[in-house]
């Protein structure tokens, strides 16, 4: 490996790069330089809002110098990472996907960015988000087919990882903003249990739902990323107390093989397209004789769960974004105005009822979680839609976000030459087991091709 092989370098996973850095077969300067060349070559994907190549290379050289001096290196030392542009960075503008905040420059890093730096990561730049991390699309294109959407709202992060522009990137999810872009772009996207990662310094959309996660090209890489950003932050009142076990260590130690999977179609199933349904049914059927896959109906009360999630999200959008829209009526999208108006229409009792049902419905789900290793369910309605005017629907994701459960999308399906994710969902606080099963599934099913 050397700087004359940039195409090979950008295809390294984070763990492969870390090993090469540790053995001296690679320098951080070479890796970062290769990523910068890839970004320049693939500028048409438009995954980034801001990249500072000189600063990234300087940080990479400093990391290499530390390693040469024999200093103890962090688990992400010398590895470039992309940061979604609703997450504050003191070294880059954070513009929230809106022209209203063009040039906005935070003075301090978000908690997760500080965590990344403390673990040695090189912040390569800011990735494109949709307008205020909602539906208004940015400029990013799907790297598999530029006429299609990459999904949203973590558009740039998913596309940058899928296009080998960076090995790791942060995303956020309030409905389906990590899982859907992962499905459309063909990468691993992980949304951890609600409360696992601090949101201090991150645009607030809906405090009961907002969750930070990330993207990678392997399950092990996304576990490494989350291990490096899950430090406890007293400023985020929703953080889970107690020390969190290493997700990567759980994958490497336990090698969990599932015995029983609950195949859940969810209330959104009828809205999935026929190709998605066929591909997913075929995929589920391949486990026969290997792992029990049991088609499982959700308990009573789940028929309206998607609407309950929307009541919480839209009400909070009205509270958090309404004043911005009122002050800048000509500079926000029609869709955002529409949702703000809808959010204002919900009464406080309706909001409180929707919030109260989060715990009731999660408790109703416990028998499924106890009797199965994980839930197997679609990640999206279908492949990435043609056109850039919208970012697709979160219908297959919002219910799991509403329940605060860890979930991830695995790039295991293909329809008409485009990637389509398989979503796995686990019990709260059991992200290690979920990722271990995901790792097994990528190894056992990733060698096969499942096409509608």
Among 48, 5, 18, 2, CA closest to 165? 48
Q: What is the pLDDT of residues 155-194, one digit of tens each?
A: 999 999 999 999 999 999 999 999 999 999 999 999 999 9
Average pLDDT over residues 248-253: 94
213, burial (CB in 10 Å: exposed 0-12, middle 13-18, buried 19+): buried
Q: How far apart are CA 257 and CA 254, in angstroms?
A: 9
Q: Is the pLDDT of residue 2 over 70?
A: no
Q: What 3-state DSSP class applies to 444? A: helix
Helix, strand, or coil (residue 309) = helix
Per-residue pLDDT, 243? 84
- Which of the pair, 359 or 6, is modelled with greater confidence? 359
161 touches 217 (CB < 8 A): yes
pLDDT in tens, 114-124: 999 999 999 99
The answer to whether 78 and 89 are in contact (CB under 8 A) is no
Answer whether residue 450 shows pLDDT above 70: no
pLDDT of 109 above 60: yes
Q: What confidence score (pLDDT) does residue 446 get? A: 75
CA distance between the termini of the chain: 38
pLDDT for res 6 = 55
**Nearest to residue 79, comparing CAs of 43, 35, 144?**
35
What mean pLDDT, rounded, does the chain reach?
Answer: 96
Please list the residues that pair with 378 across neighbouring strands.
422
Bridging pattern class, strands 292-295 and 418-425: unpaired
Residues 5-11 have a mean pLDDT of: 80
Whether 171 and 158 have beta carbons less than 8 Å apart is answered as yes
Confidence of residue 449 (pLDDT cuts 50, 70, 90): very low
Tokens of 249: 């260590």
- pLDDT tens for residues 405-427? 999 999 999 999 999 999 999 99
Report domain extents, the chain.
82-452
* In contact, 248 and 227? CB cutoff 8 Å: yes
Which is nearest to 83 in space by CA: 170, 178, 190? 170
Residues of the chain above pLDDT 70, percent = 97
Q: What is the pLDDT of residues 361-403, one digit of tens each?
A: 999 999 999 999 999 999 999 999 999 999 999 999 999 999 9
- d(Cα 44, Cα 141) in Å, to the nearest integer? 8
The CATH class of the 82-452 domain is alpha beta
Burial 220-229 (b: 16+ CB within 10 A, else e): bbbbbbbbbb
What pLDDT, on a 0 to 100 scale, did the predictor assign at position 150? 98
**Residues with catalytic annotation?**
84, 153, 177
Q: Is the pLDDT of residue 3 over 50?
A: no
Span 279-317, pLDDT tens digits: 999 999 988 778 999 999 999 899 999 999 999 999 999
Q: Are 84 and 156 in contact (CB under 8 A)?
A: yes
pLDDT of residue 241: 87
C-alpha to C-alpha distance for 44 and 146, rounded to whole angstroms: 8
| Residue pLDDT, tens place only, 48-80 | 999 999 999 999 999 999 999 999 999 999 999
- Is the pLDDT confidence value at 448 over 80? no
Q: Are the C-beta atoms of residues 309 and 399 closer than 8 Å to each other?
A: yes
Q: Is 242 exposed, middle or buried (0-12, 13-18, 19+ CB in 10 A)?
A: exposed
Sign (positive/negative) of CA torsion 111, 114, 120, 122?
positive
| Helix-helix angle 53-68:28-41, to 10 degrees | 160
Q: What is the tens place of the pLDDT at every residue in 199-227?
A: 999 999 999 999 999 999 999 999 999 99
CA-based nearest residue to 78, from 92, 89, 64, 58: 64
């Amino acid at each position: 490996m050397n700087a004359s092989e940039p195409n090979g370098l950008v295809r390294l996973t984070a763990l492969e790069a870390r090993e090469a850095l540790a053995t001296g077969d690679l320098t951080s300067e070479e890796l970062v330089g290769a990523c910068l060349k890839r970004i320049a070559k693939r500028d048409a994907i438009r995954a980034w809002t801001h990249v500072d190549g000189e600063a990234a290379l300087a940080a990479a050289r400093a990391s290499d110098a530390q390693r040469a001096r024999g200093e103890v290196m962090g688990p992400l030392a010398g590895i470039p990472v992309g940061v979604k542009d609703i997450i504050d960075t003191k070294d880059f503008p954070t513009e929230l996907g809106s022209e209203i905040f063009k040039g906005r420059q935070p003075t301090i890093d978000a908690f997760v960015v500080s965590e990344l730096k403390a673990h040695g990561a090189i912040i390569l730049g800011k990735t494109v988000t949709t307008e205020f991390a909602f539906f208004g699309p940015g400029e990013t294109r799907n790297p598999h087919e530029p006429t299609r959407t990459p999904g949203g709202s973590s558009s740039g992060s998913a596309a940058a990882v899928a296009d080998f522009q960076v090995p790791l990137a942060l995303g956020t999810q309030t409905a389906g903003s990590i899982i859907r872009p992962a499905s459309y772009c063909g990468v691993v996207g992980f949304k951890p249990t609600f409360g696992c990662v601090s949101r201090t310094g991150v645009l607030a959309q809906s405090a009961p739902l907002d969750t930070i996660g990330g993207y990678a090209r392997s399950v092990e890489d996304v576990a490494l990323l989350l291990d490096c950003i899950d430090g406890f932050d007293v400023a985020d009142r929703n953080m889970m107390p107690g020390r969190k076990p290493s997700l990567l260590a759980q994958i490497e130690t336990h090698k969990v093989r599932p015995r029983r999977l609950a195949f859940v179609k969810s209330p959104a199933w009828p809205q999935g397209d026929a190709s998605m349904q066929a591909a997913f049914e075929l995929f589920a059927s391949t486990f026969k004789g290997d792992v029990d896959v049991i088609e499982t109906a959700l308990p009573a009360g789940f028929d309206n769960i998607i609407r309950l999630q929307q009541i919480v999200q839209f009400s909070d959008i009205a509270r958090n974004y309404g004043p911005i829209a009122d002050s800048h009526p000509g500079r926000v999208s029609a869709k955002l105005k529409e949702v703000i108006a809808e959010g204002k229409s919900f009464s406080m009792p309706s909001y409180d009822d929707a919030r109260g049902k989060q715990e009731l419905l999660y408790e109703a789900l416990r028998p499924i979680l106890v009797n199965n290793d994980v839930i197997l369910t679609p990640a999206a309605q279908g492949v990435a839609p043609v056109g850039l005017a919208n970012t697709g629907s979160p219908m297959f994701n919002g219910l799991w976000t509403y329940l605060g459960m860890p979930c991830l999308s695995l790039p295991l399906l293909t329809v008409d030459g485009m990637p389509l994710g398989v979503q796995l969902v686990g019990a709260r606080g059991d992200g290690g087991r979920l990722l271990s099963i995901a790792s097994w599934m990528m190894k056992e099913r990733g060698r096969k091709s499942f096409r509608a």
